[in-house]
Chains A and B, each alone.
Chain A
Amino acid sequence: MVEKSVHEINKKIEDGSVNVVTAEEMVGIVENLGVEGAAREVDVVTTGTFGAMCSSGLMLNLGHSEPPIKIQKVWFNNVEAYSGLAAVDAYLGAAQISDTRGIQYGGAHVIEDLLRGKEIDVHATSYGTDCYPRKVLDTTITLNDLNEAVLLNPRNAYQKYAAATNSSKRILNTYMGELLPNFGNVTYSGAGVLSPLSNDPSYETIGMGTRIFMGGAQGYIIGNGTQHSPSGGFGTLMLKGNLKEMNPDYLRAASFTGYGTTLYMGIGIPIPILNEKLAASTAVRDVDIMTSVLDYAVGSRDKPVIKQVNYADLRSGSVQIDGKDVPTSSLSSFKNARKIANELKEWVKHGNFFVSMPVERICCEGSAKSMKQTQAVPLVKDVMSDFIVTIKKNQTVQDAAKKIWENSFNHLAVISDTGELVGILTAWDISKAVAENRFDSVESVMTKKVLTCAPNEPVDLAARRLDRYGVSAMPVIDAQRQVLGIITSDNISKLLARRY
C-alpha cells in the first residue's frame, strides 16, 4: 500500500526532490513499474487541455466615474456585457457577439484584446439616480485600468466530448466546425490521454479549491461546471483565474463560421499521486476513453449515435463509417495541451507551483437534466396528413392527373414496386408535361430529388426546410423510405391558426 499526503508532496516540491511527469509519460511508467511501483516513484502527474470553451467569461470592475454612473447596459468594443450588478461591475461572456461586426468578433475577442494590452472602447447607459446621476458614459480602457479582471468560467475542461458528423446532403456549420455532407468528415474535441478529468475520473484530487494552471496563470476550481454529467463520463469544471496574470499563448479568441465566437482556454491540472488508485487512473490511454460520434444532421437535442469510438481512433486521422474511411479533425490542439502539461510540470519541478487537495469534493454521480418545456413542441407526425395519395413510377401521366383530380390532392408521392419513395409529382409537374406534350411514364416527369422529413422531427425544423428550399410539401418517410404521410405548408398554417 502506498499512502502519501499532499503535505509530503509539497515538501518534496519545496526541496526540489519531487518526481513529476506528464499524464502521457505516466502511461509508460505504470506499464514498466506496475501501479504500486509507479505510485511509489511518481509524486505528481500533470494534465493539459487546450480547446474551445464557449461557457467562459470575464467578471470585471471599471472603477467609479465622475459623476458616478450605475451602469444599466454596457458594451465593450460594441459587444454587450451583463451589468445587472452593482454600479460598475460587468460580466462579459465569451460567446456574446458584436452588435456591429456579428460573429467575427465577440466577447472572447475583447478578452484576448484586453490581455494583449489593447485599448477597448466602453459605452454605457443608465437611467440616472440621485446617488448615480450620470446617464451616458464613453471611455477607452486597457486591462491595467480595471480594478479586477477575473475569468469566471461556468463550464470548462469537459472530461471528454462527443464527436460530430453529418449524414445530410449539405454542409453544416456548427460549433463542431464545418461538417461535410454524406459523412464527409468527423470532428472532435478533447485531449484524450492528457484530459484532466479523465485522469482522475472519481474526482479524488480535482474538486472545489484545487489550484490549477489556467490560461498561463495559477487559477482555481470553484466547483463542478454547469451541465456536469459525471455518470456518462462528461464531468465539467467551473474555474476562476486572474486575467491580468494570464498569457495569450494559452487564451485565444475564435469564431466558428455560421455559429459564433468562443474562447480557446488552456487548462492544466496537477494530480498528486496519493495512492495506487490515482497511479492507475493517471495511466489512462486514448484507447480507454470512449465517446460517441453523433449525427448533427438531426437538429434535435437527441442526435442519433452513428458509432462508438475511442480517442485513439479519433486521433488516428480517420474512422470507419459505413465501410468508408472518414477523415477526422481535432478542434482542440493536442500540441498545446502537451505544452501546458509540460509547462505545469516545470512549474512543479522548480517549486513555483504547489499541489492542493479540494476543500470539498465535486459530485461524481448523476447527469444534467434536459430543459423543462411547458409548451410542447409539436412533431411532424402530430400535424402531417396521414392520408397520402401514391402512384407507381411506371404509371402514366394520365393516371396521375386522374388521381389528383379524384382526390383533390396536390402532391402525389411516387413509389417503387416495393413501396419506397422515389419522387414527387405535383399538379404543376403535370401541367408542364401536358404543355410540353409529354405523356410518358410518371418517372420521366416527376421530381426525383425530393425533400423528406422524419415523423419525430419537430415541426419547426420541417417548416424551416420548406422555407429554405421554397417547396410547399414534403413526404414523411421512415428509415426504409416507406411513405407515412405528407407535411404541407397548409398543415403548418393550421397549427398556428389553432394556437392563436
Chain B
Amino acid sequence: MKIKISIPTERIHNPIISESIIETGILLNIMVANIDSTYGELIADVKDSRFDKIKNALESRGAIVAILDRPIHRDEEECVECGACISVCPMKVYAFDETWGLCVDEKKCIQCGMCIKMCPHGALKLGE
C-alpha cells in the first residue's frame, strides 16, 4: 500500500526513516521525497502486512503516517477522454486503451495532484 510519511520541523534532523527501517527490517520503497530544513514529506510503498509495524516505528520517532487510500477520482461525465493527464502523471496512472478511451489505474496514484491542474475539464478530484 501507498503511505505518506510527514516529518515535522523539530524532528527533521533525526534519521527517522533509516532508524525505523533498521529497527523493523521492513523495506520501504520511497517514491517521492520532499525534504528541506523545515519539513519532510515522503510517499512510499510498503507491504500491507507490515504496515502496522513500520507505522509504530516511525510514529514513535515523531513522524506522522497516513495511508493514501483516497486516490484520484474521475468524473466520467465531465471527462472527454482527451488524455491531457497522461503525460503529467509521475506514476503512469493514466493510459489509453485500444479504443482511445482513458484507463485509470487508481492503485498507482500517490495523490500528488499534478493531473488535477492539467485537466481542462475539471474532471479530476482527490479525496472523494
Contacts and interface: CB of A to CB of B under 8 A. Distances in A.
Interface string A153-192: 0000000000000000000010001101000111100000
Contacts of B95: 317
Contact of A330 (B84, B88, B99): B84
Given A252-B80, A328-B87, A329-B83, A334 B100 contact: yes
Contacts, number: 73
Contacts of B101: 335
Interface string B5-18: 00000000000000
Nearest to B99: A335
A50 B83 CA distance: 12
Most buried by B among A264, A317, A333, A338: A333
A329 B99 contact: no
B87 A255 contact: no
A40 to B, nearest CB: 31
A256 B118 CA distance: 7
Interface in A206-264: 252, 254-257, 262, 264
A238 B111 CA distance: 42
Nearest to A258: B117
B87 A335 contact: no
Contacts of A180: 87-88
B122 A327 contact: no
A256 B80 CA distance: 14
Contacts of B118: 177-178, 257, 329
Contact of A327 (B81, B87, B99, B102): B87
Contact of B121 (A252, A329, A338): A252
B117 A178 contact: yes
Given A252-B80, A333-B80, A334-B100, A177 B86 contact: no
Interface residues of A, number: 31
Nearest to B118: A178
17 contacts: A177-B120, A180-B87, A185-B87, A187-B84, A252-B80, A317-B86, A317-B95, A326-B87, A328-B87, A329-B88, A329-B118, A330-B83, A330-B86, A332-B82, A333-B81, A333-B83, A338-B100
Contact of B84 (A252, A255, A329): A329
A331 interface: yes
Interface in B86-113: 86-88, 95-96, 99-102
A331 B95 CA distance: 14
Contacts of A252: 80, 121
Interface in A35-54: 50-52
Contacts of B86: 317, 327-330
Contacts of B82: 51, 329-333
Given A178-B118, A254-B120, A255-B122, A329 B80 contact: no
A186 B87 contact: yes
A55 interface: no
A482 interface: no
Interface of A is mostly: strand
Contacts of A51: 82
B34 to A, nearest CB: 15
Nearest to A257: B117
Interface residues of B, number: 21
A173 B119 CA distance: 12
> Which 4 residue pairs across A and B have the least CB separation, nearest first?
A185-B87, A329-B87, A254-B120, A327-B87
B85 interface: yes
B26 interface: no
A255 B84 CA distance: 12
B31 interface: no
A331 B81 contact: no
A185 B88 contact: yes
Nearest to A186: B87
Contacts of A447: none
A284 B99 CA distance: 20
Contacts of B121: 252, 254, 264
Nearest to A185: B87
A125 interface: no
Most buried by A among B83, B85, B86, B95: B83
Nearest to A266: B80
B33 interface: no
A410 interface: no
Contacts of A326: 87
A19 interface: no
A177 B117 CA distance: 9
A103 B111 CA distance: 24
A310 interface: no
Contacts of A338: 100
Given A52-B120, A328-B86, 17 more contacts: A50-B80, A51-B82, A173-B117, A177-B84, A177-B88, A178-B114, A178-B117, A185-B87, A255-B120, A264-B121, A317-B96, A329-B82, A329-B85, A330-B82, A331-B84, A333-B82, A334-B100
Contacts of A256: 120
Contacts of A329: 82-88, 118
A187 B120 CA distance: 13
A51 B81 CA distance: 11
B76 to A, nearest CB: 12
B87 A187 contact: yes
A451 to B, nearest CB: 21
Interface in A311-334: 317, 326-334
A211 to B, nearest CB: 25
Contacts of A317: 86, 95-96
A335 B120 contact: no
